[in-house]
Amino acid sequence: MKNKSLLHRFVDWVNGDVADDRPGNIRTVGSLPEAKPPKEKPEHTDPLRHLNRQIAAYRVSAVLVCVSLMLALTYTVLCLPTYNDPSAPTNNEVSQRYVEQGMEETGAVNTVAGMILDYRAFDTFGESTVLFTATAAVLFITLSKHTKEWTERGPFADSSKDPILQVVGKILLPMIFVYGIYVVLNGHLSPGGGFSGGAVLGGGLILASSMFGQKKMVRVLSANVTTGLSVACLLAYAAMKGYSFFTGANHVGWEIPKGTPGDILSSGFILPLNICVGIIVACTMFSFYSLFSQVEEE
C-alpha cells in the first residue's frame, strides 16, 4: 500500500511526470521495494536511476547471502560436538589446568580472574589499550567546531533540574558506587572484576553527571582528568605485568607473595590489576557519555 504508492510515485518521477525539484523525492530511494526495478527506460541519464537499480539488486543479493550463510552455519553447528558434552574437545587440558592448578599458581579463587589477569594478563592489557584507543578516537572525532551548536539543544541540557532524578539519584548513587567498588575489589574472590565493576562505576558516574549537570561534573572529571587517569592506570598495569613477566621468565625469584586464597589481600598482583582495569573502564564509559553529550568546555 505504502510501498505501492511510493513505487508509483517513483515510476512517475522517473517518467518525468513530476518536477525534479519536488521535495521528498530523495526519500523514494530508501524505501523502494526490493526486486521491482522500474521497467521503463527513461531517456535522460540520471545518476539516481542507476543508484536505485543498484540498491534493488543489492538488497536481493543481501537477502540471498544472509539466508545461505544461515543455512551453511546451521549445518556447521549441527556437526559440532553436542551441547553439554563433557568430553568435547573444548574441555581439554587447558581449562583443566586452569581449574585444577589455577588457585595454587595464581592465588585467585575466581578462576576466570586468575586466567585473564595472570595467565593471559597480556591479553587483558591489550583490551585496556583497545578501550583507551577507542576513547582517544572518539575524542578526535567528536571534538569539532560543531560542538557548541549541539550543546544548546542537547537532550540532557536541563535534566539537572528534574526533581525525580535528584531524589532517586541521591538514594541510588552511594549504593551504586559502593557496589561497584565492592565488585572491583572482590574480583579475585567472587564473580566480577575490573571490567564489570568498572562498568558499574561508569554507570554511577553517568548518573552523577546527569544529576549535577555536566558543567559541574567537568570541573571534577574533565577529559584531561579521565585521560590522565586511564594513562596512569595503563602504565601501572604495564609496570606490574612487566615486572612479573621479567622476573618470572628469568627465574629471578622475587615473586609477589600469593597470600592465602580467599583473603582480600591475596593472589599477588591480581587485586591492583583489577583496580587499574576498573578505573580504565569507568573513565572510558564516562568519557564516552560526556563526549557524546558534549558540554565539554574549553
> What does the per-residue mask of binding to another protein show for 156-195, with x meaning CB under 8 A?
---------------------------------xxx---x
Minimum CB separation from another protein for residue 169, in Å?
Answer: 24
Q: Does 291 bind another protein (CB under 8 A)?
A: yes
Q: Does 148 bind another protein (CB under 8 A)?
A: no
Question: Which residue in 18, 57, 65, 220 binds another protein (CB under 8 A)?
Answer: 65
Taking Cα atoms as reference points, which of 248, 252, 223, 279 lies closest to residue 105? 248
Q: By CB under 8 A, what part of segment 249-268 binds another protein?
A: 261
Taking Cα atoms as reference points, which of 43, 291, 254, 286 lies closest to residue 151? 291
Q: Does 95 bind another protein (CB under 8 A)?
A: yes
Q: By CB under 8 A, what part of segment 10-49 binds another protein?
A: 26-27, 29-30, 47-48
Which is closer to another protein, CB of 32 or CB of 169? 32
**Phi, psi (degrees; rounded to nearest 5) at 261:** -60, 135
Rg (the chain; Cα; Å): 28
* Alpha carbon distance 213, 151 (integer Å): 12
Minimum CB separation from another protein for residue 171, in Å?
Answer: 28
Query: Are 232 and 127 within 8 A, CB to CB?
Result: no
Q: Does 80 bind another protein (CB under 8 A)?
A: yes
Minimum CB separation from another protein for residue 276, in Å?
Answer: 14
Q: Is 111 exposed, middle or buried (0-12, 13-18, 19+ CB in 10 A)?
A: middle
